[in-house]
Each structure stands twice: as C-alpha cells, then as structure tokens.
Structure 1
Amino acid sequence: MGAEQPVRILRLAGLLLACAFAVTACGKGRGPEQPPERGDQAVATVDDQTIWASDVKREAVSQGLIGEGEPLEVTSDVFHRVLDEVVDQKLLAAEAARRKLDKDPLAQRRLAAARERVMGDLLVESVVADAVNENAIRNLYQEQLKLAKRSEEIHARQIVTATQAEAETVKKLIGSGASFEALAMEKSTDAATRFNGGDMGYFTTDVMPEAYVAALKSAKKGQLVGPVAVDGGYALIKVEDRRLEAPLTFDAARPQIVRFLTYDQIRDQLEKLRGRARIVRLIKGEAQGPPAPPPADAPKAQPKPAESAVTPAIAKGGTR
C-alpha cells in the first residue's frame, strides 16, 4: 500500500482539476438523487452524496485504465481502486468548499476554465456521436479499398553459401531431387532463415536489398533463382508464391478511420465557430515555432478520402 500511496495522491490532483467547476455544489443539501444513466448503480455515498458506477467508469476512462464504452465490473480490483480515488476527490473538494477556497478570484477563473473544458468536451462528444457512426465508418472504408494501391508480395526461401562454387553445388543437388528445406538447414550460412528451411516469409520487394529485387523481378512461382551475389555470400532463392498484398481488414482499419472522421468533424466545427466569432488578438506577433501537428492519421490537405492517410494503412494489410 505504501508504494501506491504517492501515485494515488498525484492522481488526485488531476481528478480535482477535472471536476473543479463542481466544487461549489459540494457539501450542500440535496434531495434524492436519480441515476444519471439508465440502469446505473449507486456504489457509495460521501456525506449523503451518491457515487454512481458511471462516475467510477468515467474516471477509469480518463485515466486510460479502460477504453470508451468498455465494461468495468463493480467487483473488479480496478473498479474498487478508482472508487477510492473518487471518494477522496469528493472529500477534498468538499473541504475546499468548506474553507471557501472557491471564492478567491483566481480560483474562480480556474473553475471557469475547467468548466469551459468540460463543456467543450461535451460539444465534441455530441458532434462526433452524430457524425461518426457505423455507416460513415463503413462507407469510408469501402472508398479507401477502391483507392488503395496493393503491392505484390513474394513468398520465398533461400540458401546462402560463402562462395559461388558452393552455391552451384547445392543447386545441382536440388536439381537432382534433394529437398530445398533440408539443404537450407544443412548448408545455409544465413542464421535468420537457416533453421526454418530457408523460409523468408511473405515480403514486398521495397523492403529487400537491390540484389534480391533484381533477381526476383520476373521469377515465376516455383522457380529457383541464382546463385545471386548478396551480402554475406551467394544466395539460391526459391519462389514459393506471388500474390497481391491483402488489404487491411475492416476491424483493423476501424480505429484509424474513427480517428480520421473524429478529427475531421472537430476541425470543421472549429472552422465554423471561428467564422462566426469576432476574435481580436490584443498582443502583437505570431505564434512562435511550427503549429502542433495533427494526429498521424489526419488528412494533410482537404479531407477527401483519396487524400487521407487511411489509404496506405488499408493497402498495407498483408501478412508478413
């Protein structure tokens, strides 16, 4: 318990700031409370203030302990640990109110700023919930499938020898019917592939050294290529298969698409709000340094499906 206490205390600072705008309500008498969500469960009370299961889950999400929408059983250790933190949060907030710390002008501005952050989050959640739905996600996935460029994958095996003469000898053995896999384990000097029969798995040529690219460019399935001069000696390469790279599945692409659509909606909302508002900067000069970069999967220019960063992700869905 002793080792966890400092971490818990540090968390409380963030917890208090997150709900600071509600401090003035702490400690005041209230009537019977209604569940904030349908099917919600009261899990504790602090001086007659009810803590609901949804309060604990929301705090667990904010700490990254569970994902949005993921279940959190009230019997779990995580739930009870977060519940303790929410109880502590209420106790500290109530004591701050009792000492009238919320009446200080600076405290009032901090409370107002915290409230603005929460209100902004509520607006974003509302906008995103309306626009980022299953149909929008699936439609963008299908659009990206049509636009995605699929590279060719090659499945090959190799035997690497120190000299060209050794490679020619091994090639003759293969030609006479010897097993490529057995010879790889016996003769190959490449430690990475030797003990699995020379298997290099599936790969695209853009990740391979130029010597392999040139040798495999026109090789057919089942063909034996080489000897080819490579780093570390000479390679005999057997082409097991050639296929188009499989696109990323919908389930795998979904998180990236959701992030893209979410970013797109937030950006559009902010552009509309800024367009309607009268904003006057009272200080001179521009912001120093480059602007904060958008999410990795956000669009670089106009939010057209063809220009989004979702496309390469879907195109790179093959097994490696």
Structure 2
Amino acid sequence: MLSTPKLAVMAMAAFVALQAPVHAQDKADPVVAKVGNVEIHQSELDLAVSNLDPQLAQLSDEQKKIAGLSAAIDVKLLSQQAADEKLDQTAEFKKRMQYLSDRELHNAYFKKHVVDTITDAEVKARYDKEVAALPKQEEVHARHILVKTEDEAKDIIKQLDAGKDFATLAKEKSTDPNKDDGGDLGYFSRGRMVKEFEDAAFALDKGAYTKTPVKTDFGYHVIKVEDKRDAPPPPFDQVKDQVRQLIMRDKYLALLADAKQKEKIEISDETLRKGYEDASKMQQQGGSDIEGDAPGAAPDAAAPDAAAPDAATPDAAPKQ
C-alpha cells in the first residue's frame, strides 16, 4: 500500500480535467467517491488515470487508480471553491475553456477520421512499401582478435597463415571481452565501428582475414570476415507501431490540407505569417521511412495532444 507522502507526490504529478456535473448513480458508471455533495464516478476516475503524468507509467494498475482518485478529489475540492468565487465566470477562464473545447474537438475528429480508420492490413501494406524503398546497405559478419602490440598481431597472422583456426586463436590470444565467443562481432553495417576497423573489414572478401595488423585506439586487430550480405529490414513486429504513426501522420496532414483549402487563413503579423507558412511547408515535406525520423506532425493515438514519436531504428552496435 502506498504511503501518504507518495500519494501526495503522485497527486501533484497528475493532470486531470474533470468538468462532469453531478448526476445520479448509474450501475454502468458507479460512484467511487464523494466530495461533499459532489460525486466522483468511475468514468471520471478512468479519465483521471488516463491523464496521469507519463512519469507515473511504471506504477501498477492499483497504484494508478489511487493516484488518479487522489488527483480527482483534489480537483473537486478546489474546483468547488473556485466556482464559489465565480472564477468560472471570468473572461480569462471562458477563453481558456473555449480553447480546451476546440482542442478536444480537434482530437475527437482526429481519432474518428484517422486513428479509427487504420487497419492492420493497411499498416502491413505500408511496411512492405517502405521496405521495398529502402536503399541496399551492406553488412559484414566479422570476427577479430585484439592484442596490445603490433608484434603480437603479426605473430597471430603467421599462425593463421599456417592453418590455425581463427576462433581458437581468439579464445587464446584476444584481450577483447568477446574472446570466449571466438571474437565474433556478428553482423554490422558501416558507421557501427571505428573507421580504421570498418575500412579494413569491408575491404575483405568473405572468408579472408587481414594480412597486416589494423591499429585503432583499442590496440591492434586481426580481422576475419565470415560473411557479407545486404542488411535485412527491421522485422514488422518491431516497427509496426512506428509504421502506424507514419500512416497517422500522412492522414492527419491530408486532413489539414483539405481543411486549409476550405478556409481562408489570415495572419496580421508579418513575422508570424512568414513563420507559419515556413512551418507548414516543413510539415508537408517531412517524409520519413521506417528507419528515419517521423516529424511531430500528427497527434499520437494514445495521447492526441502529443507529437508523434520518432520511428524506431535498430540499436547501433557498440564501437570497437
């Protein structure tokens, strides 16, 4: 069970917007708490939980409910006092409520015409299209033996020339932590290793090893290329959420473009007008494949006010 201080911290971190009026008990939407004569229903608690600060995402479901309820009660306590002081009648409050109403309508329209229209088949088709458009990128599967001196590296090359097994020598001689794997580095593409190492590895044919030591800041390497291939695309399951974001972005931009055709936009300040036009151009030109960055053009389905996350890319291999 959470302590009172922890509940207070979570309540402070939460953001909720509960404007529901008092209404009768409903079996489908039961009352979970009361603040004076004001009821808090399950639907309001669900809303409070869904609007918890992202930093609380790691909490258990029970902890989220407690944090959401704490935040909802705090909101009810102070909102009643604010209403008593007629703060809801001020021009500033009404302007803010109008903006919030417009934003929520924007989000509802986005959900109906973008999020809810995307099918799994559409996501798979977009993935296949993006994969087909990816440029070919060569990868090598290499092993290496790392030693401190050039003479040690030269001696290892002599032993290889005499027929000694590379993996066996790596286990015996290498100072790299992967020595127990026979110096196996797996597959890697350009940009994943330090330049000297990378240049030597990609210059080798399949099955060949370096005939002279390769010096880097880590020491002296003897490198063997086990295989070469075109890099495979990221698996569908790994990037399907990012592909869905790309589709949402494109559909969102199409909605905006259509709306802008129907409505005349006038901006009186010249600097703001120019900035808006430049931003609109960048928004429309912000293409991305499944290995690139997805610009923050469309709202996220789970959090409509947020920018779309970056498209996922495989983690870069450590520098050797």
TM-score normalised by the shorter chain: which range applies?
A: 0.7 to 0.9
Give the superposition deviation at 1:102: 0.9
| Residue 249 of structure 1: how far off its partner (Å) | 1.3
1:101 paired to 2:87: yes
Which residue is equivalent to 1:118?
A: 104
1:246 touches 1:317 (CA, 8 Å); kept in 2?
A: no
Q: Which residue of 1 aligns with 2:201?
A: 216
State how far apart, in whole Å, the 2-side matches of 1:273 and 1:264 are.
14
Match of 1:155 in 2: 141
Q: Does the 8 Å CA contact 1:245/1:317 hold for their aligned counterparts?
A: no
Structure-2 change in CA distance of 1:131 and 1:165 (3 Å): same
Q: Hey, what's the Cα distance between the residues in 2 that align with 1:229 and 1:149?
A: 29
In the alignment, does 2:77 pair up with 1:91? yes
- Label 1:183 to 1:300 Cα distance change in 2 as closer, same or farther (>3 A): farther
Tell me the distance in 2 between the aligned counterparts of 1:292 and 1:86: 41
The partner residue of 1:55 within 44, 63, 77 is 44
Identity %: 24
TM-score, structure 2 as length reference: 0.73
Equivalent residue number for residue 113 of structure 2: 127
Alignment root-mean-square deviation, CA? 3.8
User: Which one scores higher on RCO, CA 8 angstroms, separation ≥ 6?
Assistant: 1
1:280 is matched with: 266
- The answer to whether 1:138 aligns with 2:124 is yes
Matched pairs, number: 293
**Which 10-residue stretch deviates more, 256-265 or 178-187?**
178-187
Is 1:81–2:67 an aligned residue pair?
yes
Other structure's SS at 1:310 match: coil
Matched, 1:173 2:154: no
Q: Distance in 1 between matches of 2:40 and 2:147?
A: 74
Deviation (angstroms), 1:6: 5.9
| 1:301 shift after superposition | 2.1
Aligned to 2:9: 7
Q: Which ranges of structure 1 fall in alignment gaps of 5 or more residues? A: none
TM-score (norm 1): 0.73
Q: Structure 1 residue 217: deviation in Å?
A: 3.6
Deviation per residue, 1:192-251 (Å, 9 max, x gap): 544543232321134334444443345344333222332255432122233332211112
Q: Unpaired segments of 5 or more residues in structure 2?
A: 294-310
Query: Which residue matches 2:243?
Result: 257
Structure-1 separation of matches of 2:173 and 2:198: 23
